[in-house]
Each structure stands twice: as C-alpha cells, then as structure tokens.
Amino acid sequence: MITKTRKLNILVGIVFLLPIIVLSVTNFDNKLQYAYIGDCVIGLVLLLAIFSTDLRDLDQWFLEKTTSTLTVSVALINLGSQLGLYSVSIGNFIFELALISYALSLYFTERHFNIKNLILITLNMNTLANFMTRSGDIAILVISVLALVLYFERFLITHTEQFRLLILLTYLIPTLIAIVWFIPEWPIIHLNNLNWLIEAIGVVLIVLIAIFLLRNREKLVLTSHIIFGTIIYLGVSELALLFAQPQILSVSFLVLMLLVYLSLLNFLGNIELANTQRKISVIIPTYNGADTIVETLQSVKIQTYRDWEVVIVDDGSTDDTENVIKRYLAYNKLPVRYIKQTNQDQLNAVKHGLKYITGDICYILHSDDVLYDTNVFYRAMSALCGERCDGIFIGIQEIDAKGKLGKIFRTKSYYDSKTTVAKTALGLGRNPYVDFTYWRREVFENQVKQNYLTDNLPAWYDAKSNFGLKLVNSNFIGLKYRVFEGNYLNSADGSVNVLSGELRTLHHILSRLNIPSFKLQSIFYRAMNKFALSSICPVLFKQGRTSLKNITPSVVSRRVKDLSNPYVKAIVDFSQNYNEEIEKDIAIPAELKIFDGADIRLFNRQLSQNQLDPFYFEMMKTIGQGTGKMRVTRHDKEKLERILEFFTIKDYVKIEVKK
C-alpha cells in the first residue's frame, strides 16, 4: 500500500510540474522546435510514470487529486503572469489544461461538495479568463451549461439524486459568468491547423488504447455510465483543442488525457454487479423495538426498488417485539426472516444476521429508524452501479421519539488517502463519517465484519493497512435517524463503549503515523472542522509512531469524568508508563472468554456484576504497568493478540512466542 501510494504521489508531482516545465522551455528559447522537444520529454516522463504503476490504481480519488494539482499549477502560472514576473508564450496550452481542470472540478464538486472544490472552480475560471483564446468563452459556456443540465436531469427526471440548492447555485453561477463572457460571434476555427487535427484524432485513439490496456489486466465492463462518460470526455477534450488551436503538437497533453481517461474507466467502468446481482439485504438488529419496528418495516415495504430482503435479528428482547413482528408479517407477505438470539449486543446481532443474507448489497437498518423516502434503495443502487467502489455513504436526518424532523447531517467529503486517516487521529479517533453505508457484500464480509462488527472500529477504516476502504459520497438523504433522550450511548456505560472504539482507532493510527505537534494540529483541525473547512486543512505527518503519553488521557477526559472504570484506567496508565523494555510472561486460561471490541458492553456488565475472570484483573494490572513486551505460548498467541486489541494497545506491545 505504501509503495503504491508513493508511486502515485510521484505521478501527481509530474502532472504538477508539466505546465511549469513546458512554460520554462518555451521561455528559455522561443524557437518552436525546442518547445516541442521539451514537451515531448515531459510527456515521455509522464507516460513512463503511468506504466510504472498498476493502471487499476488510477481511480476517482487519484483523478480528483490530480485535478487539484493541475489546477494549482496553472493558477500559479496565471498569478506570475498577472504580477508581471514573466510572459507566457503558451497561453493556448494553459487554456487547454485549465478547461480540462474546470470540467473535472465541476464534476468532483458534486461528488464532494466542500470548500476545496469551490476554490478549484474559482481558480480555474480565473485562469481561463486570463488566457482566454478567441471564442474560448463558448467552450466554457458549453461545459457550464452541460454540467447544469446534467444536474437537472439527475434530480428531476431520473431521481437518482435529491435537489440541493447549494450544488445548483455552484453550477448556476459559473454558467451565468460564462454567459457574460460570451460574445455572440461565429468562432474562427482554422481547420487546416495540422497540430489541432493530429491531437483531435489522438484523443479519440486514446479511448481505444485505454480500453485495450485495462482489458489486458482484468475484465472490463463497458456500462452505460462509462459510455456516457466517454462521450463527455471526448466532447470536453475536443472543445479544448478546437478553441485553443495549439501552436505546436503537444505530446504531454495527449499523455495527460490518457491518464484522465484511464482514471475514468477505473471508477465509471468495471462495475462488478451484473443485472442479476442487485439484491439489497437489509439486516435489522432490534432490542425491545416493539414501538417502532413496524414503522421501520413499512419504510422498506414502500420502496420503489423491489429487489430486497430483510433479516431481523432480535437480540433477546424482553418486550412484545416478537409478537408485533409476527402480526405484521401475517398481514404483509414480504421477504422478511425473523431470528431470535440471547442478548449479545447490537454489533454481534448484525454479525449473526450476516449468516442468513443472500443479497449482493448489505445495509444495516436499526429498528427505531426509517428510510427517508420511497426512492432510497433506487438511489443507493444507482450510485453503487455508477462507480467502482466498496460502498456509499448516505446523509441522515434526525427525528425525535414522536417522528418530528430535526437536523440534517450530510457525510463529510471522504477521500481514500492517508491524509483522511491522519485527520481522523487529529479528531481524537472519532469517526468523522456516518455509519449508515450501503456495502458490496464481499467487502462487508471480508473487511467490514472484522473492522466494524468485531473490533468496533469505523467501518471504512482497515486497521491492517492503516488505510480507508474505497467509499464514495452519495448526494441524498437516506435515513431518518431517531434520537431518544435516554439513548444507551448517552449513559456512563455507553460513554465507555464509544470511548473504547475511539481509543482503538486512535491508537492504531498513531502506531503507524508520526504526527508532530499533535495537540496543536488537533486544535487547529477541530477548529477548521467546526467551520466546515476540514477539506482544506493542512496536516503534517510521516511514517512512524506517535507517543500516547499526552494524548490518551486528554481523549479519555472528554468522554468520562473519572477513571473509576478499571478498563479505562488500565489504558490510561499504559499510555503513561509505556516502556518497550518491560517484559511479562502471560498465561491464558484454556476456557477463558475472549472479548472483542464489539463485546465492551458485555465486558462492563460482567465487571460490574463481579463475574469477570480473575485473569482480566491481572491483565489490566500488567497493562497499567506499561508492559511493552509480552511472552506467550504459540498456541495462545492469537488469543493474546485479540485481548490486546480489545484493550486498544495491540500495536504498541511486542508479542514473543515462548521457546
């Protein structure tokens, strides 16, 4: 994972330098042959960088990062030109790049509506205005109107998205600006320009080359999304060439367009769900949900998308939940399966329900929540089949016990990057994204089951790689989330439950990343986050390890008032006394109950009732001493790993096998 990231960062860096180097060559000598040679060299370097990585890694997140990088690069050239630091003899080339970046930034603004992408649109428009070619304003207008029309199509005709005023304004304002720029005159196009002709044909050939390259690596499915995306790609790139009228044949531009199209293929094509593999499996864990579960089931029943099933896992309810469900199903013939088990807590109930699902998409729906409207499943499936991803985040709206509507919470912009992981640490381990996600089943079973249902980590976070799964933001509200005053999470035990997951997440990240001046960076990041500016918040980090000494106690104090809970106290003491040289032999009883992160509530229950095995009291004492090295038999090594994971310190303790 680290190697791939490093190679992709090199590729992004080359894209950033591309316009700057071409500008430097042309300013060094105005002879076109030297400019052409310099352009060919940077194009060749970019091409070699592309083929030095796995082409399948060129995905949505990479393309968005590349768009940001290219925008900043041409904006810097624009700034230097406006300040009179140099003259730009390749204005047409800069216009081409800015127009491509502008089109991409419009697309990504809808995917990730945040301050960063709004800034990118502004920078691109400023660059385009300064390097405007003859009739180039027509190209800008066409792209702006196209983005606006496509957005209207999605929420008015296909209903794959909900109306959102801020996104509409984001598309409308550039369109109005483009109309102001537009001069109603027939564009003067020199069709005898050989450079334009060669590049225009080259862009078309790139489509065939990219498809051929990826098909050699895996089966490539040309979905309607990629066919439509290809048409848009060809339209935008040909418009850029048509109105820019390049003075020299730009090899680097063609290579850059190959990079863009390879990325488009990777996240708009290659969708693994066939038409016969689109069933949504809904797992509903419930505990004493008799008052609300009928409303929950009814919200599923009325969905316009009909290919679904429901698995209800009754986690030992003591009220009339079972009878309420059976009466409802007696009058409503639905694909619903009811399973009852002894009380084992919510995450374990979901894990149990996973055994009975048959669908290809998984979704967890709590028995006191309801789907937002009748098109939720339809929108979720459209999003999953429109991009290659592991799952999609949805927005939520709070409701109270009586169903009164409250605040709307939209998922923050998610990026598949190390920076996202570092920012999660700066947020003190708190999950910055909602847990309400539609997952592809294989991802749910292979990653989410361990991360979320077993270890009580954020579902999107993979502790093994210290990286995030590939998720995308949806642009719709999918759930009405019920909030009660007496929610378990607001209780003392609930606070420890939440704290356990936050510390586990934080400690995993800090064991792999060295975040200097953690306290200062954390305060700055959380302040930026409150003002919805987290997307442009800079973060400093590198590979390594961060000391827990001054961090863990601060995080704990925000959740619990004191250290009366032995579990929490042991973790805090470990952070203060940690020493890699302290050693301890660990003997694990053969019949010991091993707790996972999802079992924290059960652990606290046995602790309060004096039912906990004496081993755990001795273990908490050992942990509190800051023991950095533990020895165990080979047979018990896996058990000790699970125990240390439960106590959130697995990555800080070295486990040795006794000889």
Instruction: Give me the pLDDT at residue 606, please.
Output: 92
Q: How far is Cα 509 from Cα 652, in angstroms, rounded to an integer?
A: 11
Query: b or e along 407-424 (b: 16 or more beta carbons within 10 Å of the residue's beta carbon)?
Result: eeebbbbbbbbbebbbbb
> What are the start-end ranges of the H helices in 112-223?
115-130, 136-152, 165-181, 194-215
Q: What is the pLDDT of the chain when averaged over all its residues?
A: 88
- Does the structure show a pLDDT above 80 at 633? yes
In this prediction, residues 150-159 reach a mean pLDDT of 87
Distances (CA, A) of 376 to 7, 76, 388, 429, 436: 39, 43, 19, 30, 12
**pLDDT tens, 441-474?**
999 999 999 999 999 999 999 998 899 999 998 8
Q: What are the DSSP E strand ranges found in 316-465?
A: 336-341, 361-364, 370-371, 391-399, 405-409, 437-440, 461-462
Instruction: Give me the pLDDT at residue 296, please.
Output: 95
The percent of the chain in helix, strand and coil, each rounded to the nearest 5, is 55, 10, 30
The residue ranking higher by pLDDT, 225 or 216, is: 225
The residue ranking higher by pLDDT, 334 or 187, is: 334
Local structure of residue 367 (DSSP, 8 states): T
In this prediction, residues 222-232 reach a mean pLDDT of 84
CA 202 to chain centre: 34
- Does the structure show a pLDDT above 90 at 162? no
Query: Taking every pair of C-alpha atoms in the chain, what is the biggest distance, in angstroms?
Result: 89
Distances (CA, A) of 621 to 499, 551, 572: 20, 21, 12
In this prediction, residues 501-512 reach a mean pLDDT of 96
Matching residue, tokens 């029943």 = 301
Percent of the chain with pLDDT over 90: 60
- Return the structure tokens found at 596: 């996972």
Neighbours of 626 (CB within 10 A): 19
Local structure of residue 414 (DSSP, 8 states): P
- pLDDT band for position 2 (cuts 50, 70, 90): very low
Neighbours of 592 (CB within 10 A): 14
Instruction: Give me the pLDDT at residue 3, please.
Output: 37
Helix (H, G, I), strand (E, B) or coil at 332: coil
Q: How far is Cα 525 from Cα 530, in angstroms, rounded to an integer?
A: 9
pTM score? 0.86
User: CA nearest 158: which of 388, 362, 386?
Assistant: 386
Helix (H, G, I), strand (E, B) or coil at 466: coil
143-152, 274-283, 404-413: which range is least confident on average? 274-283
Instruction: Give me the pLDDT at residue 134, please.
Output: 76
In this prediction, residues 621-639 reach a mean pLDDT of 95
The sign of the CA dihedral 512, 516, 520, 521 is negative
- Does the structure show a pLDDT above 90 at 154? no
28-32, 399-403, 628-632: which range is least confident on average? 28-32
Span 280-485 CATH architecture: Alpha-Beta Complex (3.90)
Side-chain-facing half-sphere of 32: CA atoms under 13 Å: 6
For every residue of 580-613, DSSP letters joined together read EEEEEE----TTPPPP-GGGHHHHHHHHHTT-S-
- Does the structure show a pLDDT above 50 at 327? yes
CA 585 to chain centre: 41
Q: How far is Cα 127 from Cα 132, in angstroms, rounded to an integer?
A: 8
CA 475 to chain centre: 13
Instruction: Give me the pLDDT at residue 4, please.
Output: 46
**pLDDT tens, 471-481?**
998 889 999 99
Q: How far is Cα 502 from Cα 556, in angstroms, rounded to an integer?
A: 9
Instruction: Give me the pLDDT at residue 513, please.
Output: 96
- pLDDT band for position 272 (cuts 50, 70, 90): low
Inter-residue contact 199 to 243 (CB < 8 Å): no
Inter-residue contact 478 to 395 (CB < 8 Å): yes
Instruction: Give me the pLDDT at residue 100, please.
Output: 95
Local structure of residue 446 (DSSP, 8 states): I
Inter-residue contact 593 to 613 (CB < 8 Å): yes
Q: How far is Cα 17 from Cα 103, in angstroms, rounded to an integer?
A: 20
Parse the chain into domains and list their residue ranges. 2-268, 280-485
For every residue of 389-405, DSSP letters joined together read -SEEEEEEEEE-TT--E
CA 609 to chain centre: 41
- Angle (CA) 402-393-370 rounded to 5° is 20
- pLDDT band for position 31 (cuts 50, 70, 90): low
